[in-house]
Chains A and B, each alone.
Chain A
Amino acid sequence: MPPNDPIPSLERAIVRVRWRLRLRAALTLAVRVAGPSVALGALGLLATHLDLGAPVGLHLPMESALPWALSVALVPPVLAALAAAFRRRTALDAAERLDEAAHTASRMANAWVFAATPPEERSAFQEAAIRDASLHVERLDPVHAAPLGRPSGLGIVVLALVGLVAAASLQNPAAPPPAEAAAPSPPPMLLAPEDLQAFEDELRERGVHEDDPPALSQSTRELERLLEELRERRVDERAALERVDALTRSFLEGRPADSAVERARLARLGENLDGASSLRAAAQALREGSAERAARELAAEAERAAAGELNRAELERVRRALERAAQDAGSREDQDATRAREQQERLLRREEQRPSTPAQRRLLEHHRRELERLRREEERAQAQRRQLERLERDLRDAAAQSGSSSSGSNSDGLSRAAEDLRRMGQQQAQDERSQAMQRQLEQLRELLRRQRPEGGQGQQGGGQGSNGAGERRRRFSLRAGGQPVGIGRRPGQSGQGGGDDDGMGGMGGMSGAGGMGGAGGMGGDGSGGMDEGMMILQPGSGGAADAVLELPGGEGTQGSGGGQGSGTEPGPGAGVGHDETRLDDPTAIAHGLNDSRIHGQASEGPSRSEVIDGAAARGFVGQGYQRVYGDYRGHSEEVLERDRVPPGYRFYVRRYFQLIRPREVQP
């Protein structure tokens, strides 16, 4: 409101005060805002420099972060200063500040207000007040009325600015080379080294054969590459799962049908051949499903026949056995596969006529895949039928020739039958390798899937594989009494005492030699630590810790006592004792002992239960254990294939057998 009778000096003073007030307010608010904003910008730069956003996937290069940080630091103070500067400030406020500074007792403010009143409406005293104010104008001091002192908090702003500059200067020297910065961090270790070793051992054991179908050979090589990349952490979980799935799909397309039917036919063939004593070995091999062994036995029998080593009665028994086998081999079991395929085709046509819903489409796709599998089954059955028909012809020829007196013709028929069986054996071996491959792929996929974080435990741990699953496996191995997985071999303790006891529970080391890692004492109490997530598969016996397999979802409490690790490497120091059994100088290095040979007694070796009993303590090594393991694993596979086992439990059974698989003897 401009005064009608302005007092020029007062008006000028008021204008000056108002500008100073705007400036002071702008400075004050800018400093107040600048402290936090500059500090925030500096922290942002520092966080970018330290790459703190990497764990959450936020990565910003310093070059991009600097403008943002400067904006965060400087824009808010500028905006605040502008807002404060252009805030409305009345002239009356300025006049009152002038009064306050000059101690003029509201003369200026009153005069400013009265001057705004029209002259004709002013009272005499109002006019007098204006005149009185004009007498005191000289005392006015805009500088004191609106002082521009140092805003509070300026020191904090200066410190924050220093921090901002320091953080901004970090970018050039501390910035890593672009190539290094762009290098992705290696993915975490998806499988424990023990698991990888198990898969590689199985692959190596199975090997690649020349007569394997291309799909199997290619899948085997691809699986080897994948395992190698997993070991070198060159593939992450998602990519690994995708590759396993692709491998499984491509493998299934070329995979032959199940050979169970063929094994059943061979077993029946073996029963029919069992009538002749000379064919008993071949019959036994056929009953056990080993066509190759049966072929070898049959070929040997043909050589014996050609050499005239068989008498006539034996030849007659051979002829009858071959006739029975030939008659039975003509059965048409492959018709079941044809019927199953036809039934599946009818089901598929019916499903295709129904309304198309997402669930229906999924079901239809499933039926299509099943039909494809049945077609392959049928083709396989037909191929087997052709092989059996050829075998049948050869056996009839052999039987007919055995009726004659010519041993040479008799041996030809047997030789051809042996050749047929050999081919069937090769086919059977291929089928078994294919099934093993399929099982391995399924197991690998299941293992990869279960390596995902559970209950907040990540797959951290890198090369040590010390994630949750790895820890569970390690505990399992400890309880089972085997060598701790992933820990390595611990050197034995230095020898102590009388030379026959070095290391922990040592087996008797040499005098003065470094302690050998003992095989480890038996677990005292390995039965603790079970909860709902555990399944006891095989109780320990004779002091060995119980073999406990953990199911996911629960952390078992650690059993008290339990098994222990067993080092096999030499200890770091020399023993301090000596062998009391030595007769000469026990401290002599070069000695002349009398060697003597002690002949052991030949026996059948330890029983099956004895082998199982000490297997865990010995670390799953030894020929006996390998044989028992093969039998048990084969039996478990048969049961898994034959019985109705929940799919989830198949994994655990196979996993268990993988963990207790035979190991090679450590050097």
Chain B
Amino acid sequence: MMSDTLKPSLAPPAARRDHGLSLGALARRPETGSFLGMLIVFAFFAVFGGSSFLGLGGAASWLNVAAEIGIVALPVGLLMIAGELDLSVGSVIPAASMTVAVLSGYFDLPLVVGIAAALALGLLVGFVNGLLVLRTGVPSFIITLGSLFAVAGLTLGISVLVTGSTGVALQTGPLGKALLGSFIGGMFQVTILWWIAALLAVGYILHVSPIGNWIFALGGDKVSARNEGIPIDRLTVQLFMGSGFCSAFVGISQAILYNSAQVSTGQSFIFNSIISVVIGGVLLTGGFGSVVGIAFGTITFAIVSQGIFYTGFDANWASLIIGVLLLLAVLMNNTFRRLALSATTSKGKAK
């Protein structure tokens, strides 16, 4: 029954599995396929990329890419588990970059103001997306496709109107630089730490807190979820706001990292985040997925897109590998999901 009592003897939330490994239990986990994929891709580039790929510099190059995509992929993944899509991330990122650069660079306001405004902008776009999806009943793919273009147009229009250019320089103080745009050890972007923080936060929401159960239920069967009393409207809006917020965060950190912002920099994030999420074992139609899987998917994607430079191959082939990888990942994930559904009660521990 509902036990609110804290039992000190119980293990921390990470130790959720209290039974031994069985094939069924393993197949049931959405990240099994993506973990194998990540290992294979890593091994492939370790062989062809050699020591420079395996060195610190190699690790930094794919971790930096993974961190930026990962911060966007996490909330996008939550939305996909809940059965929605968000394409607007592609224009929220440059919009947030421009907001912080225009306010704190062009107008010389304190950096905090610029950051707060940019994050608020992300939340607002997410709120509008969520509200439109709920009110119109139009699929979120279409709604966020619309807001992708609308926000891009607004960003371009307002930037040119206010600053007369499509790029704005941004000089930040040492604290802002250290927190959002610095390199640890000269190689590792500080964003990696933010990604880890985001992984922990989203991991808590999806797998530990009861809200995670609501997200799975929402993506599994919306009508039933509503009948069970889950506040699906509020939850949907919150999830869209989460992806707006995280996209804005990435936009801000890019502006601070590169000391400037451009009106058109985020388009690649749209598909890269979705690819990472899908490779990570999230079901496109919702109801299935895991945060660890999304992290593996993001790393896999980042290794492919960066690892190619360490091999002797022409970098033009990277997209081909990513395309094939995506298809393979989906097929493998489907196989594992079928296994999970057919895995009967593990006989070994049946009483």
- Do A and B come together as binding partners? no
Interface residues of B (CB under 8 A from A): none
